[in-house]
Amino acid sequence: MFITEFQTMLQNSELRGIFIGCDYPELLLLLYADDLCIFDYSVIGLQRKIDILSNFCTSWGIQVNMDKTEILVFRNGGILRSNEKWFIDGNPIQIATYYNYLGVLISNRLSWSKCNVTLVNKASKALFVITKLVSKFPNMPVNLLFKLFDTKIKPILLYGAEVWGYEKRPAVDRFYTNFCKYILGVGKHVSSNAILVECGKSDLSVDYHFKCISFWCKLLRMPDNRYPKQAYIFMRKLDLAGRHTWASNIRILLNMYGFGIIWLNQDMGDVSQFLYAFKQRLIDCDKQNISGKINESSRFEYYKQIMSLLDVEYYITNINSREIRKYLCLLRLHELPLKSNIRFKSSVNINVVCNMCDSNCTEDEMHFIFDCKAYAALRKKYIPNYSNLLNHVKYSRLLNCNCKKTLVNCAKYIKEALDYKCNANR
């Protein structure tokens, strides 16, 4: 209620602010609730503004909270100069590398890596509530878990994505794929691309790229007398002059997905239609990228025949038992503890022959499910009889079937067969 007087004091001081346009006054401060941000291009200019703030506080009998007061010096690198020190009432003000302004962690180099890690840590704390719920109710439907993530966790994880969501953020993407792995009950070493395919989900980059472009559309529709619009116009002029700004990142993002003409025109016509088309392009490109990486991998020789890029797999949405989903997922993604799946195999002295029978065959999924004599009794009990079919055809039919009972029996077979193998190898 008193802060307007401080703004008037700054304006009367004739000190420089931040230039954003010829026809608009320079920006002297930012106010939000009880947060105050003042800035200047020079050391002396900022110190004079701090002195004005000190006089203002003295006149009103209020005090600056030094524990929450910090200075951020934006620079490309190197150490602070000897004269870059500021004081309020004779007390030195702490100079920070990062500053949390309205929930967004800003770096003095304008890097968003630390901000993303901070958001992931906050989301992890919120996720603990869901994991606690899953431990209490282990058979919760997957659709419900994803809905909880979208409504409770994703807003925390993507907070401020309008300004940092223009390029890939590995920490954010990794958090989402780890959540998908948790739902399926598999370890973090399992392929993230394959997990996204199994769950019928796109990478989280689709969401934060979309939020960034949505905000850009909002800026374009703002009246020119708004400060955010003027700041954008100024950034675009800097981009045209060869300087790299947030507007440059928007241009790159639009060109990357084939919407360069929208940037050139600075107009997209029907906004809702454009945003729909842009999001669909993001999803299609993401699925194409994931599919390409899986097809390039020799590890997914069998998985390529059964994966679906268009929808979530049947067993994920129709089987609520997390343990059953785990064994089916491990089978589909070649992650069962079989000799053919040993990670980082060298080309020398690695025996991948099954030691549970005398067939002298490689211990892979086909042999484990359909051929190994050691599990004949379990196979007869749980696995359907696909007579006169090649193993890869049997494998495809078994894992692509939409029969809940068959899939549950397959998971039971895997569990009991692995237990038998473990006991036999002791």
| Token representation of residue 201 | 């989900």
Q: What pLDDT sits at residue 208?
A: 97
Mean pLDDT computed over 407-422? 94
Please name which of 286, 271, 101 lies closest in space to residue 209, comparing C-alpha atoms: 286
Confidence at 384, pLDDT banded by 50, 70, 90: confident
pTM exceeds 0.85 for this model: yes
Higher pLDDT, 35 or 171: 171
Spell 227-253 as b/e; 16+ CB within 10 A means b. eebbbbbbbbeebeeeeebbbbbbbeb
Q: Give residue-wise pLDDT tens across range 179-201.
A: 999 999 999 899 999 999 999 99
pLDDT at position 310 is 73
The closest of 326, 334, 340 to 412, measured between CA atoms, is 326
**Per-residue pLDDT at 343:** 61
pLDDT number for residue 1:
52
List the single range of 149-163, 192-206, 277-291, 297-311 with lowest mean pLDDT.
297-311
Write the pLDDT tens digit of every residue in 148-166: 999 999 999 999 999 999 9
**156 within 8 A of 126, measured Cβ to Cβ:** yes
pLDDT at 6: 86
Instruction: Please report which confidence band the pLDDT of residue 330 belongs to, taking 50, 70 and 90 as the band edges.
Output: very high
Q: Which amino acid is at 95?
A: I
**Predicted local confidence at residue 17, as pLDDT:** 87
Q: In percent, how much of the chain has pLDDT > 90? A: 59
Residue 18 has pLDDT above 60, yes or no: yes
List 91's β-bridge partners, or say none.
88
Total Cβ atoms within 10 A of residue 157: 25
For residues 88-114, average pLDDT: 91
Q: What is the reported pLDDT for 2?
A: 60
Do the beta carbons of residue 330 and residue 336 sit within 8 Å? yes
Q: Calculate what percentage of the chain has a pLDDT beyond 70.
A: 98
